[in-house]
């Protein structure tokens, strides 16, 4: 990896930006939010996490002229047939806040009547070296747990306060950030992505 490689991260989510910067900082990569370039979010019209990750990365690369990383991630709750899934960030509406999404999910889980239903976070990640890259580097990972309907913890963002992690007997929002970055769906996907990038660069 080249020192201080500038890469744009295709997100305006500050929580996600902090997580990604922490994950990539040891590798000497300078991660810049697309908002620093006044790049507006692109419509996520894909039908899968992978499709949406590629759409977002290509949009950011085209707008900035830099390599881009994007992830599309979400929460899938078994009892809700995989909802909210790819609609996790806009579950309660296009401009919904984290709190609104969380409240709606809690109501739906309560209505389903099964305590602590199984769930998983899933993350798909894409790296494009430029906007015309037709062979993006991809990775995916899942993080399994279950839902609790009383939010706990102040770390993290999104659905973290209700995602219970059995291995640590707490919610994702109660985990220290360094621990979450290591074991989460995004952390696992990033490790896989970096392995793929390292292998690809070694082939050139």
Domains of the chain by residue range: 5-202
* Whether the predicted model's global pTM rises above the 0.85 cut: yes
Say if residues 162 and 106 touch (Cβ distance below 8 Å): yes
Architecture of the 5-202 domain: Alpha-Beta Complex (3.90)
For all residues of the chain together, what is the average pLDDT? 91
Kindly indicate the confidence band of residue 202, based on its pLDDT and cuts at 50, 70 and 90: low
Q: How many CB atoms lie within 10 A of CB 130?
A: 12
Beta bridge partners, 72, equal 124
- 13 has pLDDT over 90: no
Tell whether the torsion through CA atoms of 125, 25, 88 and 140 is positive or negative.
positive
What residues act catalytically?
Answer: 72
Average confidence (pLDDT) over 28-50: 90
Alpha helix stretches (DSSP H) within the chain: 14-24, 49-64, 98-112, 177-183, 185-202
């Amino acid at each position: 990896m080249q020192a201080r490689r500038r890469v744009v991260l295709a997100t305006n989510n500050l929580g996600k930006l902090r997580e990604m910067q922490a994950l990539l900082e040891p590798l000497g990569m300078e991660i810049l939010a697309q908002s620093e370039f006044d790049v507006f979010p692109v419509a996520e019209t894909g039908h899968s996490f992978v499709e949406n990750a590629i759409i977002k990365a290509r949009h950011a690369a085209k707008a900035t002229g830099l390599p881009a990383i994007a992830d599309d991630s979400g929460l899938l709750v078994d009892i809700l047939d995989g909802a909210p899934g790819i609609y996790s960030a806009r579950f309660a509406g296009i401009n919904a806040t984290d709190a609104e999404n969380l409240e709606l999910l809690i109501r739906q889980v309560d209505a389903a009547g099964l305590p602590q239903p199984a769930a998983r976070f899933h993350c798909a990640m894409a790296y494009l070296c430029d906007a015309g890259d037709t062979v993006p580097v991809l990775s995916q990972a899942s993080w399994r747990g279950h839902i609790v309907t009383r939010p706990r913890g102040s770390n993290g963002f999104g659905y973290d306060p209700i995602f219970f992690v059995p291995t640590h007997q707490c919610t994702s929002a109660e985990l220290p950030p360094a621990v979450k970055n290591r074991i989460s769906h995004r952390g696992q996907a990033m490790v896989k992505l970096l392995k793929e990038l390292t292998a690809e660069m070694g082939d050139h």
